[in-house]
Amino acid sequence: MTPNLPGEKKPEEPVPIDESKLPGVDMLPSVISGNPYFTAGGGLMVLGGSLALLRKSVGSLASLAYRRMLVDLELRSTDKSYDWFLHWMSNYKHRSSRHLSVQTKYVQHPNGSISTGFSFVPGPGNHWLKYDGAWFYVKRERSERLHNSGVPTETITLTTLYKDKYLLASILDEARAMAMKMAEGKTVLFKSWGQDWRPFGQPRKKRVMDSVVLDYGVKEAIIKDVKEFLQSGKWYHDRGIPYRRGYLLYGPPGSGKTSFIQALAGELDYNIAILNISEPNLTDDRLAYLMNNIPERTILLLEDIDAAFNKREQNREQGYVAGVTFSGLLNALDGVASADEILTFMTTNHPQKLDPALLRPGRIDYKVLIDNATNYQIQQMFLRFYPGEDEKADIFMKKYNELKLPYISTAQLQGLFVQFKESPDAAIDNIEVLKQPHLNNFFYE
């Protein structure tokens, strides 16, 4: 040790620090509370900002993970696949649905009897299903916004892992195949609902063309014309002619007009869209929109077209007779906004009431009378119900001519044959019932 020089002070020894007296983490709250900046709110702002930043970071990471790991598929109620998927899921076994909706089937038959049935489909809410080893979260939501039809719009969202996204297409393909199988060999009837076409009831079994007996050669001539039209698309387009064709079937009630159209749809593998021109809520714009958005491979049917309008003079006086104006109908048929590639059939019991403007080519191109039954039809209908009974058909015809009826509809004849479907002799013995149609409870169009 170096000795101290004379007059030099001896350096003080360092004072040892008592670590036990230093402020620790447990004293941090008291230190912060005693700090005037923290008590003034500055520290709280820093702390709150840090927590907000942390929360935002966590949210961003979660959103990033969602985008990287999951995939969504949205189905809107305005799309055909919406109903396909809903029906598919209601029949799928590997699902968990705690929210259900009921669909009631109500059918009133011509004889007054009523058939009802219930089916359950996944309702609005959250559901789970397992498909091909992968889990799917299904959310059905109902919007407060109303569709043009007055029905709330809905969406179904399917969520699954990104690696299983290819299964979404498989599910939709399976749902579509199920829907197509239900309609296979059947005719779907569509009716307008707001600005949409929706299936009306269950698909009908296709009507066999042989079940409709028209006068000699009438049925074959219409079928030939329709098939030629369907095969002439290029010819129409090359010449700049609108590719559409209108048919008018006119004649008394019960002569088979609607029955033939149903059989024709089955023959062509087409569906039928029925539009009621007399509907009060139908406007010119809505009519044009519906006719421009008819489902594919579908015949447009305008029944009892004469009931929708009176003569043009009355139409001018009143402005409109039904919800759509006469000029609106003409424009929808062949105006600037008219649809292309459309097959339209109209029926009427009173052709004399139709305005000549409606009958011109381009609106109605093919007119044919579907009249009361001729002798040819009567005999063919008898043989249709009682095959091979040619001799009894001759007896029936002889007795029928003895009745000297001014006319008979095919509907009345069908009613007689259905009533005695097991016995041609009973039909012959009861032929007198045709003189009193009100006693025959079987009337079919």
Q: What is the pLDDT of residues 245-292, one digit of tens each?
A: 999 999 999 899 999 999 999 999 999 999 988 877 788 888 888 988
Same domain, 244 and 140: no
Same domain, 173 and 220: no
Residue 395, pLDDT score: 95
Same domain, 215 and 296: yes
Same domain, 346 and 381: no
pLDDT tens figures, 154-196: 899 999 998 888 999 999 999 988 887 877 778 989 988 877 8
Please state, in angstroms and rounded to a whole number, the distance separating the CA atoms of residues 381 and 384.
Answer: 5
Task: Report the CATH number that the domain containing residue 248 is assigned in CATH.
Answer: 3.40.50.300
Q: Is residue 8 situated within a structural domain? A: no
Instruction: Please give the mean pLDDT across all residues of the chain.
Output: 80
DSSP 215: S
Residue 387, pLDDT score: 94
Residue 436 has pLDDT above 70, yes or no: yes
Same domain, 233 and 365: yes
Residue 329 has pLDDT above 80, yes or no: yes
Q: In 3D, which of 216, 341, 212, 193 has the Cα closest to residue 267? A: 212
Residue 199, pLDDT score: 84
Same domain, 341 and 388: no
**Which pTM was predicted?**
0.65
Q: Is residue 259 situated within a structural domain? A: yes
Q: Which region holds residue 7: left if phi is over 0, alpha if psi is between -120 and 50, else beta?
A: left
pLDDT tens figures, 369-390: 999 999 999 999 999 999 999 9
Same domain, 149 and 269: no
Question: What is the residue range of 364's domain?
Answer: 204-369
**Structural domain tally of the chain?**
3
Same domain, 401 and 349: no
Same domain, 222 and 90: no
Please state, in angstroms and rounded to a whole number, the distance separating the CA atoms of residues 277 and 305.
Answer: 7
Same domain, 221 and 342: yes
Angle between helices 375-385 and 390-403 (to 10 degrees): 140
Q: Is residue 103 situated within a structural domain? A: yes
pLDDT tens figures, 303-326: 888 877 654 444 455 554 457 888
Task: Identify which has the larger pLDDT, 105 or 326.
Answer: 326
Same domain, 364 and 411: no
Last residue of a domain, one of 339, 369, 399: 369
